[in-house]
Amino acid sequence: MSTQRLPFHERVEKALADPVLKKAVPLAQDKFRAGRIAAAELVGNFEEWRDHVSAIRMHTIENLDSYIEQFATNVRKKGGHVHFADTADEAVQIITGIAKEKGAKTVVKSKSMVSEEMHLNKHLEEMGVRVVETDLGEYIIQLADETPSHLIAPAIHKTRKEVSELFSEVAGRQLSQETTELCSFAREKLREEFLNADIGISGCNFAVAESGSVVLISNEGNARLTTTLPKTHIVMMGMERIVPGWQELDMVVSMLTRSATGQKISVYVTGINSPRKEADLDGPDDVHIVIIDNGRSKILGTAYQEALKCIRCGACLNVCPVYRHIGGHAYGGVYSGPIGAVLSPLFDGYEEFKELPYASSLCGACTEVCPVKIPLHELLIEHRKDEVEQGFTPASEKLAFKGFGYVTSHPTVYDLAVKMAHTGMGVMAKDGVITSGPGMLGGWTDVRDLPQPAKQSFRDWWKKEGKDRG
Amino acid sequence: MKVSLFITCLADVFYPNVGISVVEVLKRNGVEVDFPAEQTCCGQPAFNSGYQKDAKEAARQLIKAFEKSEIVVTPSGSCASMIRHYYPGLFKEEPVWLEKAQKLVDKTYEFSEFLVKILKVEMSDLKLPGKATYHQSCHMARGLGIKEEPKALLGQVEGLEVVDLPYCNDCCGFGGTFAAKMSEISEKMVDEKIRNIESTGAEILIGSDMGCLMNIGGRLNRTQKDIKVMHVAEVLAQGGKQ
């Protein structure tokens, strides 16, 4: 599932050196942050909403099996097909199988993060099917042969100039850098693709169990065209996308759009209830819903279960001070930011993603904004604990913390250590400042100075004169 | 009223003046202070790095050290937050210690929190001229929900102008071992924080957590910027001397 090519620290270095990211990410973050805050203020009792929606999501996750059953039964009742894919490979097989059966030449896709987990486009292209992403951001990064760098703003890292160059190549003529010209080119070009496509593939923001409906949230209208014009519609759905009923959906969608962009509601909220019925003017004849596990069910019942509540709004990315500086690609997985740092090691293991839980200052900004109250930074601490227990941390670090545990639980030893600190660390100091240190200390002093421990510690001061002052 | 001071390892070793200031301020407000010598560290460095067993050793010692105290006050939002949020979890399988941990949780206060909420101090004799800005540390603001208390205290200092810090909710890049492990990212974070501090025109940066201040101060020092770094307690103590 991973898209990483370079080791973590090289990815970070590359991101930090990127002048476009340096400007674009903070700008986008500021816009999204302000939108979210304004939307929350308008609601007034936003914290109560968070509690409520968190409870809805938790209840759903705890009863996922029965809700999925209910959803699948209702879809089938209305003539849709339901497939279950345990793994990414199985999902690919199901979807390429449908494409083969339909003799598909072109597929249009509206945004689907879960499809990124299995590099679906690559698999379809390998069998000779053209795939066209129709979400504007996704279209841009498809042309650039890149992966999304933000959950809801996948091309956050591309400039207008870069977009103009990419579009000009498709157009066969030089386009300006004006947003209106670039958008109208994309609209024209994509309209053609919608009309010619054999299959439309969409994601699934929410699946309503009580009616077997798929709900898509979008701002560009491409999701509607994707799910209406082609004869066949395939829905790629992460198994945790379920909501029990329309009443719960109302709450969850309200929180999604407000937390994502600050919108009260997205431009389009599309509910798909069944394949085309006789009286319908349009719509696909065939609807296939692929319910994808791909590592999700193994999270159920673990300390990380709450991560499955995620509704993919991206609010945690927008407030994250680490994401602000490294952007999405440095995370190396399909999902970036704090939720990516939680999910990627769960999906793909610590071998591949052992650094991600440490790529956080544990400031808690993510946890504070999460509309479904996932304790994101605490799950990162949980990952760190598991990494230690499973032996993913260096022996030297292990030893250091063993020493820490010993010293801090033996006050007389601690006392001595504090006494020795001034002289001991003094060998590295000049004029009371340490500018270069060994090992872990080196990471600190690479960037900033460290004061030499005080000549007289507080505890010594207390013994000598503080006691009487206290 | 009698209070036990939990100095925190950072202030004990690197910034004793913070502790001395806390003692002075508390005393001036009629509080008797003691310092249980058995105290060491709250265990957060180990806890946040994933070494919960080692963190627990430290936590157990801290609980023991303050067992007889009525009220514990600490000049760190981060360490207070460690106790309040994670001590009960560390001992969830040891009922006896869980009860002891909960007792410590219930009687521990961050310095500003204690002065404003418990002591309800109104100090009218403080003077410290200068333009300052306040760094709101993450664990204190988010973990303990203490944002206004330090500002309320600083507002009692005559002559001290406290300017709002833009992007005050953003982390300074400390994050304990994060600052050393992910120094390249931390560097960008602290530099952005410093740019924001500079934009206020403040000559003093005031904070409630020596971890953050050690990070920002260390970077200010490295980049040769002339901004003074002070703990809230130091401001109040110094203000009382003028």
Q: What single-letter amino acid sits at A336?
A: S
- Output the six-digit token pair for A202: 């969409």
Q: Cβ of B54 and A384 within 8 Å?
A: no
Contact B237, B24 (CB under 8 A): yes
When CB atoms are compared, the residue of A408, A451, A467 closest to B14 is A451
When CB atoms are compared, the residue of B39, B171, B182 closest to A359 is B182
Whole-angstrom distance, CA of residue A113 vs CA of residue A196: 24
Taking only the tens of pLDDT, chain A with its 470 residues reads 444 578 999 999 999 999 999 999 999 999 999 999 999 999 999 999 999 999 999 999 999 999 999 999 999 999 999 999 999 999 999 999 999 999 999 999 999 999 999 999 999 999 999 999 999 999 999 999 999 999 888 998 998 999 999 999 999 999 999 999 999 999 999 999 999 999 999 999 999 999 999 999 999 999 999 999 999 999 999 999 999 999 999 999 999 999 999 999 999 999 999 999 999 999 999 999 999 999 999 999 999 999 999 999 999 999 999 999 999 999 999 999 999 999 999 999 999 999 999 999 999 999 999 999 999 999 999 999 999 999 999 999 999 999 999 999 999 999 999 999 999 999 999 999 999 988 889 999 999 999 999 999 999 999 998 877 76
Q: Cβ of A325 and B20 within 8 Å?
A: no
Chain A residues close to B190, C-beta within 8 Å: 447-448
Query: Does the ipTM exceed 0.85?
Result: yes
Whole-angstrom distance, CA of residue B155 vs CA of residue B161: 8
Reduced to 3 states (helix: H, G, I; strand: E, B; else coil), residue B35 is: coil
Identify the helix (H) or strand (E) that includes residue B207. strand B204-207
Taking chain B, what is the end-to-end CA distance rounded to the nearest angstrom?
A: 26
Chain B residues close to A359, C-beta within 8 Å: 182, 185
B59: distance to nearest CA of chain A, Å? 8
Whole-angstrom distance, CA of residue A336 vs CA of residue A366: 12
Q: What is the maximal distance between C-alpha atoms in chain B?
A: 52
Q: pLDDT tens-digit profile of B117-174?
A: 999 999 999 999 999 999 999 999 999 999 999 999 999 999 999 999 999 999 999 9
Residue-level pLDDT at A2: 44
Residue-level pLDDT at A289: 98
Reduced to 3 states (helix: H, G, I; strand: E, B; else coil), residue A85 is: strand
The answer to whether B15 faces chain A, any CB pair under 8 Å, is yes
How far is residue B206 from each of residues A10, A249, A252, B79, B192, measured CA to CA in Å?
35, 46, 41, 18, 17
Positive or negative torsion for Cα B85, B91, B95, B99 = negative
Q: What is the maximal distance between C-alpha atoms in chain A?
A: 92
Whole-angstrom distance, CA of residue B225 vs CA of residue B193: 13
When CB atoms are compared, the residue of B37, B57, B214 closest to A409 is B57
Whole-angstrom distance, CA of residue A154 vs CA of residue A146: 10
